[in-house]
Amino acid sequence: MSDAIGIYLHIPFCRQKCRYCDFPSYAGMEAKQEAYVTALTEEIKRYGKELDGQEVHSVFLGGGTPTVLPLPLLERLMAAVFDCFSVSADAEITTEANPGTLDREKVRGLRNMGFHRISMGVQAWQNRHLQKLGRIHTIEEFLENYHALREAGFSNLNVDLMFALPEQTMADWQETLEKITELEPEHISAYSLILEEGTPFYEEWQKGRLPMVSEELDREMYRWAVEFLAKKGYEQYEISNFAKAGYQSRHNRIYWQAEEYLGLGLGAHSYWRGVRFHNTYDLQAYLAKAGKDAVAERETVTPQDALEEFMFLGLRLTEGISFRRFRERFGKEMKGVYGEQIKRLKTEGLLEETERGIRLSGRGIDVSNLVFQEFLLD
């Protein structure tokens, strides 16, 4: 495992709640923002002492919508990050930003406080889809924010997109990808919409009022995106992530390579010193802790868990998993542990083997969750 670590900071505020979203985020809680930043800053200080100079090679501010915070609060947070952690000179420093929460002053401020990568949630090109999703912005507002970021010198932008939206046609999805690639962001994420229990979308769907696209169209949209983005010079490096050469996200790769990261803030998840843990999801409880231990659940990763996670996370990367990395990580051969599974999945055409290692085939990507289950050892 690499010695450097990634830091994730969660900002649980949004201007309004999207209709499909089950992330820990709240709308209408502006009055709590200052207290939250104070608690998070205290947590940063505490972990800064514990890391004791360990190199941080990725900082990711996610949410929620971090950019709903006023500039002075964002500045306080980032000042604490740089004061308390040994952030390496070439670290990837990203914030998520939703269109409609940026203006020229905020964009300049983000640049001045050390961010050089911005991840924008756009989701779709058509305003009727954005409205239905409950997004706060129009595509025109996205464009305004996007150009403001470019003008301020940001040369590493990600755009998050979603497909398989209710009533979305193939032509809608193609238009979204065509228009977005004309802007040439360095990185694109494309996930299909998942209905999460407890969201307004889920309730509408249960009542038969949300016309979802078919499974076949969902897959067709995915395959079209993979081919189209390749033609436009985006390398698919993970099932749902595409990047121009040199712009794969370090933050994302930390998860898929089962490397260590610390998640700070409400409900944030960590994998650190062999333990997976997450903070409380209760905003009041988190604020009451004021930076003291807010962990709600801890789970020691057993050697078996570590093997399984390494496989199903690593297989999300299109490069797959190398035999060498497996050996370095576990001190044994991948085929000594998973020889039978690899043979079977290859015969079924779901896995490919090269001299370097193994990776999912095109068909394997379509049924990736089933493939991952094969690597559970019990």
Q: Determine the straight-line distance between the first and last CA of the chain, rounded to whole angstroms.
A: 25
Q: Does 25 bind ligand SF4 (CB under 6 A)?
A: yes
6, 48, 63, 291: which one binds ligand SF4 (CB under 6 A): 63
- 178-216: b or e for each residue (b if 16 or more CB lie within 10 Å)? eebbeeebbbbbbebbebeeebebbeeeeeeebebbeee
What is the DSSP secondary-structure string of 108-173?
Answer: HHHHHTT--EEEEEEE-S-HHHHHHHT-S--HHHHHHHHHHHHHTT---EEEEEEES-TT--HHHH
Taking CB under 6 A as the binding criterion, the range among 12-20, 34-42, 311-319, 325-333 that sits at the site for ligand SF4 is: 12-20
Overall size of the chain counted in residues: 378
6, 48, 64, 357: which one binds ligand SF4 (CB under 6 A): 64
Using CB under 6 A, count the residues that bind ligand SF4: 11
Q: Does 289 bind ligand SF4 (CB under 6 A)?
A: no
4, 23, 71, 287: which one binds ligand SF4 (CB under 6 A): 23
Residue 15's closest CA among 4, 6, 31, 26? Answer: 26
Q: Does 21 bind ligand SF4 (CB under 6 A)?
A: yes
Taking CB under 6 A as the binding criterion, the range among 62-70, 72-80, 337-345, 347-355 that sits at the site for ligand SF4 is: 62-70
CB atoms within 10 A of CB 54: 14
Q: Does 122 bind ligand SF4 (CB under 6 A)?
A: no
67, 98, 158, 199: which one binds ligand SF4 (CB under 6 A): 98
For residue 18, the minimal CB distance to ligand SF4 (Å) is 3
Taking CB under 6 A as the binding criterion, the range among 19-27, 71-79, 215-223, 330-338 that sits at the site for ligand SF4 is: 19-27
Distance set, CA 345 to CA 123, 154, 356, 370 (Å): 34, 43, 17, 10
4, 17, 290, 306: which one binds ligand SF4 (CB under 6 A): 17
Judged by the rule CB under 6 A, the positions of this chain that interact with ligand SF4 are 14, 17-18, 21, 23, 25, 63-65, 98, 121
